[in-house]
Amino acid sequence: MTRDVLVRTIFAKESFLCVGLDPDPDRIPDRYAGDVVQFNRDIIDATREFCVAYKPNTAFYEALGLNGMEILRDTIAYIGDEHFIIADAKRGDIGNTSRYYASFAFDTLGADAITVAPYMGKDSVGPFLERTDKWTILLALTSNSGSEDFQHTPQENGAPLFAKVMRRASHWGLPDQLMFVCGATQADRFAELRKVAPQHFFLVPGIGAQGGDLEGVCRHGMTRECGLLVNSSRGILYADDPGAAARDLQKQMAKALKKFSPELSE
């Protein structure tokens, strides 16, 4: 999915919701009897009108063995072409290893994007960015508490490491193919993040179970093209009514677009 199509979809649906498809066998309702495919299909059917993207985390499928890869491929095929699909794999290696990671996500699974760890530098990210028809989503400022261990470390100019990563990586790929992961639990840093990467989309995890601040993220992170994909996983998957949970977030996002997006608020 191209940037133009993604932006049009966001404003048409008045939503920038991404639903994380992370099926935990211990939490899937008993009525599914362990049928992950049907569970995913029911979640997709209940939420597709309220979201613009889905993000299956590959670890939940890898843990199911060889059958898990078939479940993941079936899930992505069931989503179809009208939603942006992110393979949340957090890959990161050099040379052909990254190239094959990219091939698996884009060619075998059919995903539009893959999450990538930047620690090994440009030559580990480059093979993903070679696929100019796809998206690379680079970890920058994550939502977990351990982000404090490295990501906030001051650099030679006093700026934190996450800012250095984003600034450097912004020269590796265009905003039409490169996003950054920026956690919703770090909403107070979004004005700073936008100064570093004013044109790039941000994938924003941490809304819902992790307690992220949706309004703060939108206030400081939204752009003319929205520039945000906000993910919710557990808060939707294991809600009593997943469709209602997604609809509630979509309504909040519609209000945020009208309040904070220059495109709609002018």
The residues annotated as belonging to the active site are 90
The dihedral of CA 60, 128, 167, 199: what is its sign? negative
Beta carbons within 8 Å of 77's beta carbon, 6+ residues apart? 110
For 118, the token pair is 């930047």
Half-sphere exposure of 87 (CA within 13 A, CB side): 30
* Cβ–Cβ < 8 Å for 1, 213: no
Phi/psi for 30 (5° steps) reads -55, -30
Which amino acid is residue 214, in one-letter code? L
* CA dist., res. 200 & res. 190, Å (int): 13
* Cβ–Cβ < 8 Å for 239, 219: no
* Cβ–Cβ < 8 Å for 266, 227: no
* Cβ–Cβ < 8 Å for 136, 178: yes
For 203, the token pair is 């994938």
What does DSSP say about strands 228-232 and 135-141: parallel, antiparallel, or unpaired? unpaired
Between the two ends of the chain, the Cα-to-Cα distance in Å is 28
